[in-house]
Amino acid sequence: MPGAQVPITIEQLVALNPYNPDILPDLENYVEEQVATQTYSLDANLCLLRLYQFQPARLDVRIVARMLVKALMALPATDFNLCMFLIPERLQMEEPFLTLATLAHFLETAHFREFWDEANRNRDILEVVPGFERAIQGYAIHVLSITYQRLPRSILAEAINVEGLSLDKFLEYQVNNNGWTLEKGGQLVVLPANEDNHPVLRKSSADSIPLEHVARLFPVLG
Amino acid sequence: MAYDAGGYGGRDYGGGYDDSYDDRPEFRDGFRDLQPPEPGFDSANYVPDVVKTFVVYMYRHIREKNVYEIHQMYEGSFQKLSERLFKQSNWPAVEMIAPYVDNDHVFCLLYKEMWFRHLYARLQPTIEQRCDSWDNYCNLFQVILHGNVNMQLPNQWLWDMVDEFIYQFQSFCQYRAKLKQKTDHELAFLRQIDEVWNVVGVLNYLQALIEKSMILQILDDEKDGNLTFTATDGYDYHGGTNVLKVLGYFSIVGLLRVHCLLGDYQSGLHALLPIDINQPGVFNTVIGCQITTIYYYGFANLMLRRYLDAIKSFNQVLLYIFKTKQYHQRSSQYDQILKKNEQMYALLAISLSLCPHPKLVDENVNNQLREKYAEKMLRMQHSDEAMFDELFSYACPKFITPAPPNYDEPLVNFNQDAYRLQLKLFLSEVRQQQLLSSIRSFLKLYTTISIAKLASFMDVDEPTLRVALLTYKHKTHVINNDGSVLSNADVDFYVDDDMVHIADTKTTKRFGDYFIRHISKFDEIINDLDRVQLE
């Protein structure tokens, strides 16, 4: 087509022309963009990992590391695992992948204290990606929310790695904005009710009968 | 879904595999008297009469768009002739039969497609033959993509094209990865042929077939109820061609398969989205396609921890195979069907061990499952990692490493690398879920229990237990594409400070359905009685 070039977004590229090795540099830049603008695209990143699979010599360890950090931030989604399925085993035995896998393991098994300790020891890998801490705290709260109706303050503190006055401020914010409440002088945190920490709220499809089934009886009932 | 061999409108045609084959016109030339060839028989350059007749008839049926006859010859006669004359040898070269079919370019491509499939199935292809079969598929697909074919071919054949295309690709990757046994000639050859069976090429052909056929648009239109494509099984009743459309459709399943072989389960499932596997569709018309679709769909979901989706889909297709496998006994596909059947039982066993939901499994399927895997499932429920390893290794796809190796480095065999990675990641997931089984069994015994007490029963300290409870919740709650949370836990609970409250999981009896069923049945009986004429 002669003339004007229609600007095409990365997402469109990935949707229309995903098996084209020429788009590899664009996808690499897009990872950097996701880091800088605190956005995220699993599809684009998987596309890049796939192209790296096809041309292993072009694999950029730094880019893949950033991608994996972004994937950790997407928890509880299984994005980190999805990426690992596409990264060669011998690479996974090297740094920084070994550390990232350890961090992922701690998060997948809710070992939050161990996670924050290990994260502290590896700030260089993590602080290149803004928003990391906040994202993991969000994940921790998600897991706590589907498990606990009321939880001891110390458990919360350990899970989100916040203590003392910062924790007080954090709790104040949650109480004012997200429906949390406090009991026992702030030692017990009451989380909002949802389907998972109040299983009785789960919608019961037990004995409701769709109209079509009953309609079958109309000729019989006369 | 009733068994349908995909015959041209022939829904009651079930005689695909009967003995009237020997009375078929193409066998008239003394077929039954023909002995298997002598050793040293030069099958590549001598064309037996019966083969001449075969290609002549096949060519005529294709020109006349007689899909029923093409299917009979493709599925039946070709297999019979292969079995009797070419058990361990190749069919005559295409140049030898071309004069009998007007040297028709497209027919020759189709003949070679069958020729290579026979070769890969019975013999070991040489590296030159692997290159030639790639070239043949390129030529064939290019002709089809340029819209130059006006044929109707049986869905079985069109599916086999896509299936075999990917199989030969897989075979090439496996072959290329075994560097240690290669001769210098082979290595020199390999260095030169980066484009042959190149993964990007394979994916782009599948993608091209999907795009050029506009199949995504067609399937999308069907969602509004305009079921022209599905209702005709993809065949064109207006004198047109079904080839491009149906190849495009089957390429969707092809993409699912290739992505899974590369370990990219998310993209595989994404590629399959246009096909709703819970509705009848063209993928049901060929049993090989149905099985392949569900096998990879289920496997991908298993790796994504979407155990409910995996269980439901395996159950669906295993039940179908259970009911219909007797009709496929004479088919050339029978062995493949049985193999995938066994593999899916293994995958179902794994899924149910990680996510027990016995009510999702049909009674017949469950009986088979118990017969094959009762003891192994018990071991898996007690976190026997070796058992998971064994079943996964048996049932998993043959993963591939898509990139060519660096031929300058020391030669190793790396054909197992891809499989080893997937196995390792799967087992580490299993390990992370280790405590879930015992939590489950304890929770089933109580309505409430304190953290302290439960910890002592499980022989762990309280912090460990709290962490394990969080893990249980995390692993059993799946995040959907729209961000909603779905629980696949059979036993659920919540924690209130230091007490665990187990949710009441007693399923309510569905009285409504029961009564409706019996009211209708009783009405039927009354009507039957009314019709009885007493003498």
**Per-residue pLDDT tens digits for A138-163:** 999 999 999 999 999 999 999 999 99
pLDDT tens string B4-21: 333 333 333 333 344 455
Rounded to an integer, the average pLDDT of A115-129 is 92
Specify whether the CB–CB gap between B100 and B48 falls below 8 A.
no
Nearest chain A residue (CA) to B402 = A54
Pick from A17-26, B75-84, B221-230, B374-383: least confident = B221-230
Portion 53-82 of A in contact with B at CB < 8 A: 53-56, 76-78, 81-82
Residue A211, C-beta contacts closer than 8 angstroms, at least 6 positions apart: none
The pLDDT score that the predictor gives to residue B70 is 94
The pLDDT score that the predictor gives to residue B345 is 97
3-class SS at B307?
Answer: helix
Other Cβ atoms closer than 10 A to A192: 13
Q: Does the distance separating the beta carbons of B516 and A214 come in below 8 Å?
A: yes
Q: How far apart are CA A65 and CA A87, in angstroms?
A: 11
Contacts of B485 in chain A (CB under 8 A): 146, 195-196
Please determine, for residue B38, whether its predicted confidence score (pLDDT) is greater than 90: no
Round the average pLDDT of chain B to a whole number and report it.
87
Please determine, for residue B413, whether its predicted confidence score (pLDDT) is greater than 50: yes
CA-angle at B464, arms to B462 and B469, nearest 5°: 95
pLDDT tens string A3-32: 445 567 888 888 888 999 999 999 999 999
Contacts of A105 in chain B (CB under 8 A): 428, 432
Greatest alpha-carbon span in chain A: 77
Residue B114, C-beta contacts closer than 8 angstroms, at least 6 positions apart: B74, B78, B91
Q: Does the distance separating the beta carbons of B263 and A198 come in below 8 Å?
A: no
Q: How far apart are CA B163 and CA B253, in angstroms?
A: 9
The pLDDT score that the predictor gives to residue B333 is 82
Rounded to an integer, the average pLDDT of A101-119 is 96
Q: How far apart are CA A89 and CA B424, in angstroms?
A: 9
Torsion, CA B519, CA B524, CA B530, CA B535, rounded to 10: -130
Q: Does the distance separating the beta carbons of B267 and A50 come in below 8 Å?
A: yes
Q: What residue has token string 């068994």?
A: B3
pLDDT tens string A58-95: 999 999 999 999 999 999 999 999 999 999 999 999 99
Nearest chain A residue (CA) to B208 = A17
Q: Does the predicted TM-score (pTM) go above 0.80?
A: yes
Q: What is the three-state SS of B3-64?
A: CCCCCCCCCCCCHHHCHHHHHCHHHCCCHHHCCCCCCCCCCCCCCCHHHHHHHHHHHHHHHC
CA-angle at A67, arms to A66 and A73, nearest 5°: 95
Closest-CA residue to B356 (of B423, B298, B311): B311
The pLDDT score that the predictor gives to residue B205 is 96
Beta-bridge mates of residue B485: B479
Q: How far apart are CA B139 and CA A96, in angstroms?
A: 45
Query: E strands along B346-428, which residues?
Result: none
Please determine, for residue B100, whether its predicted confidence score (pLDDT) is greater than 90: yes
Identity of the residue numbered A7 = P
Q: Predicted confidence band at B472 (pLDDT cuts at 50, 70, 90)?
A: very high
**Distance spanning both ends of chain B, measured CA to CA:** 41
Q: How far apart are CA B177 and CA B405, in angstroms?
A: 8
Alpha helices in B396-461 (DSSP H): 417-432, 436-443, 451-457
Please determine, for residue B365, whether its predicted confidence score (pLDDT) is greater than 60: yes
The pLDDT score that the predictor gives to residue B28 is 56
Q: Does the distance separating the beta carbons of A200 and B496 come in below 8 Å?
A: no
Residue A201, both tokens: 């709220």
The pLDDT score that the predictor gives to residue B375 is 95
Closest-CA residue to B343 (of B351, B354, B353): B351
Other Cβ atoms closer than 10 A to A125: 19
Nearest chain B residue (CA) to A144 = B470
Q: How far apart are CA B103 and CA A10, in angstroms?
A: 47
Among B432, B473, B511, beta carbon nearest to A143? B473
Contacts of A196 in chain B (CB under 8 A): 473, 477, 485, 487, 492, 494
A196 touches chain B (CB under 8 A): yes
The pLDDT score that the predictor gives to residue B532 is 83
Nearest chain A CA: its distance from B135 CA (Å):
20
Specify whether the CB–CB gap between B90 and B123 falls below 8 A.
yes
Nearest chain B residue (CA) to A201 = B503
From the number of C-beta atoms within 10 Å of its C-beta (0-12, 13-18, 19+), residue B302 rates as buried
3-class SS at B217?
Answer: helix
Pick from A184-193, B16-25, B181-190: least confident = B16-25
Interior/surface letters B31-58, b for 16+ CB within 10 angstroms, e for the rest? beeeeebeeeeebeeebbebbbbbbebb
Specify whether the CB–CB gap between A54 and B199 falls below 8 A.
yes
Q: Does the distance separating the beta carbons of A198 and B267 come in below 8 Å?
A: no
Q: Does the distance separating the beta carbons of B516 and A209 come in below 8 Å?
A: yes
Rounded to an integer, the average pLDDT of B21-30 is 58
Round the average pLDDT of chain A to a whole number and report it.
89
Q: How far apart are CA B456 and CA B462, in angstroms?
A: 8
Q: Predicted confidence band at B194 (pLDDT cuts at 50, 70, 90)?
A: confident
The pLDDT score that the predictor gives to residue A15 is 87
Rounded to an integer, the average pLDDT of B139-155 is 91
Beta-bridge mates of residue A189: A151, A182
Residue B129, C-beta contacts closer than 8 angstroms, at least 6 positions apart: B116, B119
Q: How far apart are CA A100 and CA A124, in angstroms?
A: 12
Please determine, for residue B39, whether its predicted confidence score (pLDDT) is greater than 60: no
Please determine, for residue B508, whether its predicted confidence score (pLDDT) is greater than 80: no
Residue B448, both tokens: 């409430």
Q: Which of B412, B424, B432, B466 to mutate to test the interface with A (most CBs of A within 10 A)?
A: B466
Identity of the residue numbered A75 = L
Portion 120-139 of A in contact with B at CB < 8 A: none
C-alpha separations of B470 from A69, A136, B148, B296 in Å: 22, 15, 60, 31
**Residue A188 parent element (H or E):** strand A188-190
Residue B286, both tokens: 């060929």
From the number of C-beta atoms within 10 Å of its C-beta (0-12, 13-18, 19+), residue A3 rates as exposed
Residue B323, both tokens: 């009911």
Please determine, for residue B307, whether its predicted confidence score (pLDDT) is greater than 70: yes
The pLDDT score that the predictor gives to residue A86 is 97
Closest-CA residue to B313 (of B292, B298, B329, B330): B298
Q: Does the distance separating the beta carbons of A89 and B199 come in below 8 Å?
A: no
Pick from A90-104, B48-62, B494-508: least confident = B494-508
Closest-CA residue to A86 (of A74, A97, A96): A97
The pLDDT score that the predictor gives to residue B34 is 52
**Residue A114 parent element (H or E):** helix A112-121
Specify whether the CB–CB gap between B397 and B299 falls below 8 A.
yes
Interface A–B counts its CB contacts (< 8 A) at 143
Please determine, for residue A115, whether its predicted confidence score (pLDDT) is greater than 90: yes
DSSP annotation of B506: P
Please determine, for residue A219, whether its predicted confidence score (pLDDT) is greater than 50: yes
Nearest chain A CA: its distance from B263 CA (Å):
6
Closest-CA residue to B283 (of B310, B306, B315, B316): B316
Q: What residue has token string 């879930």?
A: B436
Specify whether the CB–CB gap between B301 and B293 falls below 8 A.
no
Contacts of B301 in chain A (CB under 8 A): none
The pLDDT score that the predictor gives to residue B1 is 31
Q: How far apart are CA B451 and CA B407, in angstroms?
A: 59
Please determine, for residue A168, whether its predicted confidence score (pLDDT) is greater than 70: yes
Q: What percent of chain B has pLDDT over 90?
A: 63
Residue A206, both tokens: 């037990």
The pLDDT score that the predictor gives to residue B69 is 93
The pLDDT score that the predictor gives to residue B44 is 58
Q: Does the distance separating the beta carbons of A204 and B473 come in below 8 Å?
A: no
Please determine, for residue A215, whether its predicted confidence score (pLDDT) is greater than 80: no
A195 touches chain B (CB under 8 A): yes
Identity of the residue numbered A80 = F
Regarding an ipTM greater than 0.90, the answer is no
Please determine, for residue B341, whether its predicted confidence score (pLDDT) is greater than 60: yes
Please determine, for residue B477, whether its predicted confidence score (pLDDT) is greater than 50: yes
The pLDDT score that the predictor gives to residue A199 is 72
Q: Does the distance separating the beta carbons of A199 and B485 come in below 8 Å?
A: no
Contacts of A58 in chain B (CB under 8 A): none
Among B303, B493, B512, beta carbon nearest to A207? B512
Q: On the CB side of B395, how many CA atoms lie within 13 Å of its CA? A: 26
Q: How far apart are CA B497 and CA B507, in angstroms?
A: 28
Nearest chain A CA: its distance from B512 CA (Å):
7
pLDDT tens string B274-298: 999 998 899 999 999 999 999 999 9
Task: Identify the sign of the CA torsion B456, B461, B466, B467.
Answer: negative
**Residue B221 parent element (H or E):** helix B215-222
Left, alpha or beta for B383 (phi > 0: left; psi -120 to 50: alpha)?
Answer: left
Q: Which residue has the higher pLDDT, B317 or B409?
A: B317
Q: Does the distance separating the beta carbons of B200 and A206 come in below 8 Å?
A: no
3-class SS at A150?
Answer: strand
Q: Does the distance separating the beta carbons of A111 and B473 come in below 8 Å?
A: no
3-class SS at A178?
Answer: coil
Nearest chain B CA: its distance from A160 CA (Å):
14
